[in-house]
Amino acid sequence: MELCPDMNVALQPITKADAFASHPRPSQQEAEDAFQLLLRWVGEDPHRDGLTETPARLVRAFQEYFSGYGQDPAQILQKTFEEMDGYDEMVVLRGITFESHCEHHVAPIVGRAWVAYVPDRRVVGISKLARVVEAYAKRLQIQERLTSQIANTIDEVLKPQGVAVVIKAQHHCMMSRGVQKQGTDMVTSRMLGCFRDNPMTRSEFLSTVHSTEQR
């Protein structure tokens, strides 16, 4: 599954911050200087051989981690297809892997997403659903908001009969620090339209989630 057709897209400068006129975006050098300061703060010598290029590497890594700020998830869904021959059943993309970062500790969130919708006159390429997940995941997040953003965007752009999203993820902010509980995952869901109103439709979707987990 191709989440990003051009890997250079993931490495473009983060642009959303440019919209905040009262908070001009720092330069790359300023970002590297900030990382160098943090290395000194933890007790390291940022000028030793093994660390001289680390601030620049961190800037490039952050550009990739948070490349979602430079993407418009609604635009990703603009190209649709109407040649459906009357298809009006559920479309499900199962187990979409993603990596995000917690906005409270900038610690990794690693998980999978199940995304479903029941079309109304038009469908979208399945890779686009994965790209919407990726665009929102590549931002500072909390899982509850990530779940809602994915479902709400699909609902607003495609205007289907219903949308369902389930996310299961492990949060390193509670695995590597704090309570340090390993193997614990968090489950969130958002049901809209027929998935909220029709118990049978919701149950059918959730059965696909459980069957994927049991493989």
Active site residues: 102-105, 143, 171, 173
Q: Which residues lie closer than 8 Å to 165 by C-beta, 6 or more apart?
A: 113, 114, 115, 116, 147, 150, 151, 154, 189, 190
Three-state SS at 45: coil
Q: Residue count of the chain, please give it.
A: 215
The CA distance from 51 to 48, in Å, is 6
Type of residue numbered 102 = C
Start-end of H helices in 101-198: 126-137, 143-158, 172-175, 194-197
Distance CA 7, CA 146 (A): 23
Question: 3-state DSSP call for residue 47?
Answer: coil
CB contact at 8 A, 142 and 186: no
The set of long-range contacts for 32-37, using a CB threshold of 8 Å and a minimum separation of 24, is 32/56, 32/58, 32/59, 35/59
